[in-house]
Structure 1
């Protein structure tokens, strides 16, 4: 009986966690980033990427 309650609680917590993740992914205020932290990871700096690629090619 106690084992069944523990298993049910673990299952219920996992279900709540998954529902919360789904809710946050659809109704997040930060649309650009999957993590929802609002950091700078959602912006892509193409000029910086190009500079880094040119620097790597020049290094070879």
Structure 2
């Protein structure tokens, strides 16, 4: 293998790792947040839409 082929293989593997990491973070973030967890945001000063 020539130097250019080795460089292309290394860049391809790095791109696969990068895309795999992005996909992993995308699915991992969806699992960590529940439907009503509020994610650390304080909503106490907003009016409750259920109370009329």
Query: Normalising by structure 1, what TM-score?
Result: 0.47
Gaps spanning 5+ residues in structure 2: where? 1-5, 42-48
Q: Which residue of 1 aligns with 2:15?
A: 10
Gaps spanning 5+ residues in structure 1: where? 39-44, 46-60
In the alignment of these two chains, the number of paired residues is 34
Q: C-alpha displacement at 1:28, in angstroms?
A: 2.0
More helix by share: 1
Higher relative contact order (CA 8 A, sep 6+): 1
The alignment's C-alpha RMSD in Å is 2.2
Query: Normalising by structure 2, what TM-score?
Result: 0.54
